[in-house]
Amino acid sequence: METNGQANGLKSRKKDNSDGKDNLWSAILEEVQNQGNTKLPSNKNVLVLGDNETGKTTLIAKLQGVEDPKKGSALEYAYIDVRDEYRDDHTRLSVWVLDGDPGHTNLLKFALNEDTFPHTLVIFTVAMTTPWGLLDQLQSWASMLGDHIDKLDLTPEQRLESKKAQTQKWQRYTEPGDELEPATSPMKRSSRNLADELAHYDDDDAPLPEAVLTTNLGLDIVVVVTKTDYMSTLEKEHDYRDEHFDFMQQWVRRFCLQYGAALFYTSAKEDKNCDLLYKYLTHRIYGLPFRTPALIVEKDAVLIPAGWDSMKKISILYENMQSCKPDDYYRDIIVQPATRKCKPTVYCINVVVCGQSGGLREAEVCAEDEQVFLQRQLAALQAGTPAPRADSPLRAAQRTAAQLDGTKISMGGGTPGNEGVLANFFNSLLYKKTGSPGGVAGVRAADASPAAAAAAARSDAAAELDRLTRAKRAPHPAPLDLNASDC
């Protein structure tokens, strides 16, 4: 009986072991099957906000891989192809680009509403070509977005859940490579460095660092500073120095802390950080890997993921500020260049006439200022007498040219080698006296019939030309000075 009991026990243990192995394999197969069925969602959206001329359309075209972007108006729609190489899956990421004109903000409801709110990431764009407006533009668009979100018909639970998700994303950020380290490893780095401070808190109750997410909109936000290749122009033409760029960067980074946003400095022209921005968007939206750490060395290619930055790290920039302080008013340090005031329109006509010496001279005739003209007309109307009519600029130019031309002709009539010699030559051909070589006897051009006069003129011209040809010893007449002739 004891032997039979031991045998039964051994059989039951073998059965349990086999059942355990089957359960283990079943769990593994089920997990692999679930992972294989995981598809990239197709309902994700990106909303791009920013002033006009900040490169919104060009930036999205760069992310799409399009060389020739086509700019639309009001509310543009595009999409970005996203591919997961690990799962061999792909989807389309919808992109909405709102026009920078404040009059189009009413169209925001089509891109961001109650249904799309949980699936939307927002990009704020500002351009380095207008550095004096960076902070004002960011604050203006963030305020507009906050007002729009407040008007959405979201339940209190939905708003709380979205804000809680943003807080957890910030707190759980780890630098690339640290995710393989144990949580208690001294080599593990965190943006918070609050391992000791958070020992008595749960993840949900942990306090945020200083100045972080003080304005939580419940959305993923990325701030993109475009056209950073213009920094070299700012240095050459506007005398910008490193401390100016550091001053701008620390203010933008403080804004990013306030809204829990990431920061990218990009240049589509020089292809800086555009590919990294694409990878970061797929990381935040689809959970795809992003293994690039924060980049703050190159001033025109800054990259700061959400969750990495802190006020302590920003304070490193203060050391380079000699002529300004971090809390100085932004526009007092980054000053907009003064624009030239428009002067009254003056229409000028340049008339080229021939001078007395045969050269060309440019005479400039300026029209009367329109305000002076109108005041003179008003005074004439009030006095009841017609105002003297002023010549138009073209008429005055013609009169000036005619005066100069008449003076030149009157002075140049008896000058050797001028057009007077040519006129006398042709007059002698037309009015040849009777009996001259080659002439027609008794016939004058003025008295003969038109046909006879024409024949006589042709005969006289031929004879005169033949005479000039035979006169080899006679001195050649002075060459005709075209510069001295009338234009």
- With a pLDDT cut of 70, the percent of the chain lying above it is 61
- For the chain, what are the domain ranges? 1-37, 45-333, 348-470
* Of residues 350, 347, 353, 345, the one with CA closest to residue 364: 350
Give the pLDDT confidence of 130-147 residue by residue, as tens digits. Answer: 999 999 999 999 999 999
Q: Which pTM was predicted? A: 0.62
Mean pLDDT of 262-275: 96
Q: Which amino acid is at 487?
A: C
221 within 8 A of 284, measured Cβ to Cβ: no
- Listed in sequence order, the DSSP H helices in 172-273 are 231-237, 242-259
Interacting residues of 286 by C-beta distance below 8 A, sequence separation 6+: 40, 41, 44, 82, 84
50 three-state secondary structure: strand
Q: Can you point out the beta strands (E) in 256-399?
A: 262-265, 303-304, 348-354, 360-366
What would the pLDDT profile of 379-389 be if each residue is shown by its tens digit?
A: 888 887 655 56
68-110 pLDDT tens trace: 877 788 999 999 999 888 888 899 999 999 999 988 999 999 9
Q: In what order do the strands lie in the sheet with 75-84?
A: 75-84, 89-98, 45-50, 120-127, 220-226, 262-265, 303-304
Angstrom distance (rounded) from CA 223 to CA 256: 7
Cβ neighbours of residue 22 under 8 Å, at least 6 residues apart?
none
Q: Is residue 244 within 8 Å of residue 154, measured between CB atoms?
A: no
Name the CATH superfamily, with its identifier, for domain 45-333: P-loop containing nucleotide triphosphate hydrolases (3.40.50.300)
pLDDT digits 0-9 by tens, 112-131: 999 999 999 999 999 999 99
Q: Above pLDDT 90, what percent of the chain? A: 49
Mean pLDDT of 276-297: 95
Query: Quick check: 439 pLDDT over 80?
Result: no
